[in-house]
Chain A
């Protein structure tokens, strides 16, 4: 069943529009991430869902009921903040108890829920501490526990891992995923980190400049993106122009490739660096490819290969020897390259729709 339904939400500041009509939905128990660069409007959207910011238009339904007119305290949504926002003057236990008191949950039930939350967030033993006595990771867990103890219909996360260092971020990310599997709370997560989004989500909503660009599962968006922005934002890619005729296309230097969908004329494809095969080859073909640069990344090597006027990123896993810059190489491209609905390209083609 659909737990959260956002329909045509807009946000204007005076004459300028921060959010163009946004629509998305989250199923019960689903973990959906809103992913986008800074300033794309994802946090604004989250705050509108939470009720701490007022939308200019559109409506929001939670479990079927309209909530966009309600104040935050009546929405049955809990939020985990980027800054944790723990109450500094209360102990961990008092922090957890606060929301339960507000909703008049019976004492016995309060105890049960608090004990449960402390357990699954690995916080037992810290109940009497004040927030300033906790490490960053512990504070974040308390913020999480404080939200899940409410057993809300919807859990919101506003970039909760951004303030942590890389190792801690990894650890907590795994804990969050494990937690979600365990309690199955419907979750809406906001982040700018695409690796985080792909690792955690059932579905990802890609946003840019106040609009939804594309929605899909991590696999779909990575392997078969429909938009150039998605392809470029999730992981690394090469955006290449092809001349298409049906399911076949031709790269700018003449190399033939196989397309995933039918297309005619000029088109754009996304080719992941790790999907291009590369080997040193001294035979000079009609379109010689030369290694311009190589970066050793540990688990892989990232090559910058020049073919004609195009620069390609090619990634090769493992291996013993690196191909030095200057060597000629042969490139093999995978089948079923995703063709992008590249808006930028489409705008140059006169459209039959009235503008």
Chain B
């Protein structure tokens, strides 16, 4: 019977062939573009960090050294800044999530008369330029004595992370069907049980997206932290800014600090990038 013959795979048929549907030219073009736009600059920065002097006209460094990395990693001031950044980012993310959850729940499940006004108010910290928020808070904190303190930096950063977290979580919570909650109640679940077993698990995509954006946002936040914290409280971005003073720029050191600043954020981003849903992110970040 001919049926048997069709089932055997000859080795040749297992080789992957590109079909027209793969759009190879488009793929190649896009990846080249990606390489030039992202990989190239990052690579160059890395070269600067390990180059032992890189005078013109050389296109590539002639000699390399790891001294600078060693020096930087041993610099206690930088280490302190790094620890500051990490600790602040964790606290900010955690606090933002806790503050945002009840509000996001209200926005997702209820309709009420002033809802649109509340929506716009939540959007406002994103609309009002960050520097305006920063100087506004900066002056108040100066008066309150919260300036130049880690607490002040944390409080001011939450203003920046809260809107996005609320919006992302609202988008996630909106997707929970009413019937699910009714069913849970009819099966005897109380409010705490529903929150723990239904709401939180289903809110995970929103929590993840919001948590990620908050952490990264806090870690690399500059404008507000600079106004409120510098020069006493130093985060990594502030440290980096100081290396980029146009009149005394230290490119190699700046490169190293840049990577210290970038690496955690990039790693988290790549890991979570596999879990994040585009439609959720667009809904949270792109609607006004």
Contacts and interface: CB of A to CB of B under 8 A. Distances in A.
Q: Do A and B come from one complex?
A: yes
A158 to B, nearest CB: 24
3 nearest A-B residue pairs (beta carbon): A355-B1, A355-B2, A355-B3
B4 to A, nearest CB: 11
Interface residues of B, number: 3
Contacts of A355: 1-3
B205 to A, nearest CB: 27
A355 B5 CA distance: 13
**Dominant SS among interface residues on chain B:** helix
Interface size class of A (residues with CB under 8 A): under 10
A197 B1 CA distance: 39
A355 B1 CA distance: 6
Interface string A74-100: 000000000000000000000000000
Nearest to B13: A15
A269 B276 CA distance: 57
Contacts of B3: 355
Interface in B1-20: 1-3
A313 B3 CA distance: 39
Nearest to A355: B1
3 contacts: A355-B1, A355-B2, A355-B3
A355 B3 CA distance: 9
A292 B2 CA distance: 48
A55 to B, nearest CB: 15
A125 B3 CA distance: 62
Nearest to B21: A54
A133 B60 CA distance: 65
Interface in A298-355: 355
Nearest to B1: A355
B19 to A, nearest CB: 10
Contacts of B1: 355
Contacts of B2: 355
A249 to B, nearest CB: 33
A306 B2 CA distance: 44
B17 to A, nearest CB: 12
A355 B2 CA distance: 7
A355 B6 CA distance: 14
B89 to A, nearest CB: 42
A282 to B, nearest CB: 51
Interface string B1-43: 1110000000000000000000000000000000000000000
